[in-house]
Amino acid sequence: MTAFNTLVPVFFMLILGYMARHFKWITSQDKDGVNTIMFTVLFPILIFHLMMQAELTIGTVPIIAYTLIVFILAILVGKWLRRFIGESRSHFALFLLPTVEGGSVALPLYLSIVGVSSNTIIFDIAGAITAFLIIPILVSKAAANQTSNKELVVSIMKHPFVIAIFLGLVGNVCHWPEIIAHSFIAPAYNGIIGRATSPIAGMILFILGYDLNMSLTTIRPLAKLIFVRFTFYIFVILGFFILFPKIMANYDFKLAVLIYFMCPTGFALPAIISPVFKSEEDELFSATFISLSLVVTLIVYTLIFIFLAH
């Protein structure tokens, strides 16, 4: 029942977004305006907060490093398999292979089985670095065209995601969370974070639903990309068993790995990689890919729940 309560709101927002497009309740320009506000203003606030609160310990460094390496490797795999995936979509499809939607999918599904745990958040640290630092840099470079190296570096350094990650890491090292928690501004800070970040998850799902579009011409390339993604992460999971056998012997951590890496691409990715889109079809393809990946995730989760959950 917990999983049901977690997933119904997700699909509700997806369906609501799809209906908004189908019945023309809002225009694509309206949607783009909301998208800009979300990812230029609000999302960096969330990134800053998450990076500042992340638990960076010596014991988690190898796991974070491995996860970061496989996310980077996923981009390279997408580049190597561009002919299989399709040349017409190779300029953006490789960016749909790394990262995982942790907060809205992986964590709730995981907690529905094991209860209170923060195991999946470890992977999200690597995911945040990939999604909000590495990919924006690669996207900026790909979309730069005639931009000079100096202008490219300046644009990257001024990117809201890069600034948010930098400030978040500084705050983490300097123990800002503890300082804030013991100061008189704690209620105000929590209120600001709550107000600024609460609309994010719902609006991202709404936008994904708005962009959901599937036709006979896209089914085959979508199936190929989904096959590549989930096959790749099966090998990533095997890598955890080989490299971290002692940790994987822990039931809760093993479930965290199985569920997390079988979840869809981060919901924010289509907006992050939008500068490399060449047409509206690219945007629709990306959103549909994530939505279909979510269906695969639900199938995998059901099997895990039936055969592995205590």
Question: What domains appear along the chain, each with residue ranges and CATH number?
Answer: 2-307 (1.20.1530.20)
Query: pLDDT by residue (tens digit) across 139-177?
Result: 888 876 656 667 767 777 787 878 888 898 899 989 999
Give 208-239 as a DSSP string.
HHHT----HHHHHHHHHHHHHHHHHHHHHHHH
**Helix, strand or coil, per DSSP, at residue 163:** helix
Tens-digit pLDDT profile for residues 58-91: 888 999 999 999 999 999 999 999 999 888 898 9
Sign of the Cα pseudo-torsion (73, 76, 80, 81, in order): positive
Q: How far apart, in whole angstroms, are the C-alpha atoms of residue 119 and residue 122?
A: 6
47 pLDDT more than 60: yes
The span from the CA of 280 to the CA of 113, in Å, is 39
Q: Taking the model in full, what pTM does it have?
A: 0.79
**Does residue 102 carry a pLDDT above 90?**
no
| Higher local confidence (pLDDT), 146 or 123 | 123
Report residue 228 CA to chain centroid gap: 17
Question: How far from chain centre, in Å, is Cα 125?
Answer: 11
